[in-house]
Amino acid sequence: MEISAIFEKQNSNILFPMKWITRERPKIDRIACPWLISKFVDSEAEFIYVPYAAVGDKAAELNAIPFDIPNVEYTHYDGETTFDYIVKKHQIDDPAIAIIAGIVRGADTDRHDISRESAGLWAISAGLSYNITDDSKLLETGMILYDALYSWATHLYQQNHLQNSPFENLLHEVYNKFLKDKKPANKTPSWVKDLKEIIQDQIDTQFSFDLKKISNELDLNPSYLSREFSKYFEDLNFGDYVRKLRIEKAISLIENSTYTLTEIAYMTGFSDQSHFTRIFKLHTGKNPSSYRRKIQKSNPDTKGK
């Protein structure tokens, strides 16, 4: 059964408790969403993880709601996560959840510039998934993680670690005064060339960007790499630079292949076609379909493709 048809068969007025189903081996959104649903939507909800290919059939068989996969209601839209959609769909008006939503969005879409905590959430979540191979136990542990994150966002969001430690605060002041203002040398660090090669290799193969893994390959601290990146990469942060290269790759595919725009969106690492269209237009001034029509008009040999 087509996954998108499942909701058409379910009553729009959902009865609780409800079963929810998604693909196995969760890390960010597929842990964060069950926590959000359990806390604000349905405290008795049941969550099921299965191989991606089995989600549609199992959802129909168990009358479960599929989430965080393509072509279902509960999924990514316009660069936002499934967590964002649940917040909007169920009108969850909680300032702490708004904070967490930004952190989850940054972690789940590799845009760590959205929130300074996103890189940390990704690191912890990836580590949990690596250590715990049983998805039900992983979810149980993840629930504790998000309970802690919610308490922080509710009560401790404005508190800094250094404010209660005079000694550490003194060291922080010394750093700011004597080290932070030192100008970097004009010579480009050797890691910049290596990083460009790593990024290009990923662009040409699978679009899998793991800042922590890349930092390890370069033997650099991830925070340092994130902070220094824009100095050597067209004054762009890591996420913006990667999106620029993805659009350049998409343009090449539009001009030189017969792939559909949906196929090109997924081939270039975008979560859905609407996100691809928005970023493409931001970079080129045209949406992908208009760009393709212009190419075909200027090159008659491509009209039949």
pLDDT digits (tens, 9 = 90+) for 85-133: 999 999 999 999 999 999 999 999 999 999 989 999 999 999 999 999 9
Q: Which residues contact 77 (CB under 8 A, 6 or more apart)?
A: 84, 85, 272, 274, 275
Query: 118, 272, 155, 77: which is closest to 88 by C-alpha?
Result: 77
Least confident of 46-60, 151-165, 178-192, 216-230: 178-192
Distance (Å, whole) CA 270 – CA 292: 18
Contact 120, 247 (CB under 8 A): no
Structure tokens at 197: 């090669």
pLDDT at 300: 62
C-alpha to C-alpha distances, 13 to 66, 67, 199, 247, 297, nearest whole angstrom: 16, 17, 46, 40, 48
Are 26 and 137 in contact by the 8 Å Cβ rule? The answer is: no
Give residue 17's identity as a one-letter amino acid code.
P
Name 225's Cβ contacts closer than 8 Å, sequence gap at least 6.
191, 195, 211, 214, 215, 218, 238
Q: How far apart are CA 218 and CA 215, in angstroms?
A: 5
Residues sharing a CB contact under 8 Å with residue 189, sequence separation 6 or more, in sequence order: 228, 232
Report the run of H or E that residue 94 belongs to, with start and end: none
- pLDDT surpasses 70 at 157: yes
> Taking each helix axis from N to C terminus, what angle separates 273-284 and 238-256, rounded to the nearest 10 degrees?
90
Asked whether the predicted pLDDT for residue 302 surpasses 90, the reply is no
pLDDT of 205 over the 70 cut: no
Q: Is the pLDDT of residue 168 over 90?
A: no
Question: H or E element: which one contains 96?
Answer: helix 95-108
- Average pLDDT of every residue of the chain: 82
Higher per-residue confidence, 128 vs 183: 128
SS3 (DSSP) at 22: strand
pLDDT of residue 11: 42
For residue 77, pLDDT beyond 60: yes
pLDDT > 70: percent of the chain: 78
What was the pLDDT predicted at 16? 58
- Is pLDDT of 7 > 50? no
Domains and CATH numbers, the chain: 3-156 (no CATH), 240-302 (1.10.10.60)
Q: What is the per-residue pLDDT for 125? A: 95
The 10s digit of each residue's pLDDT in 261-291 is 888 887 887 767 787 888 888 888 989 999 8
- The residues near 237 (Cβ < 8 Å, ≥ 6 apart) are 113, 226, 229, 230
- Looking at residue 47, its pLDDT comes to 97
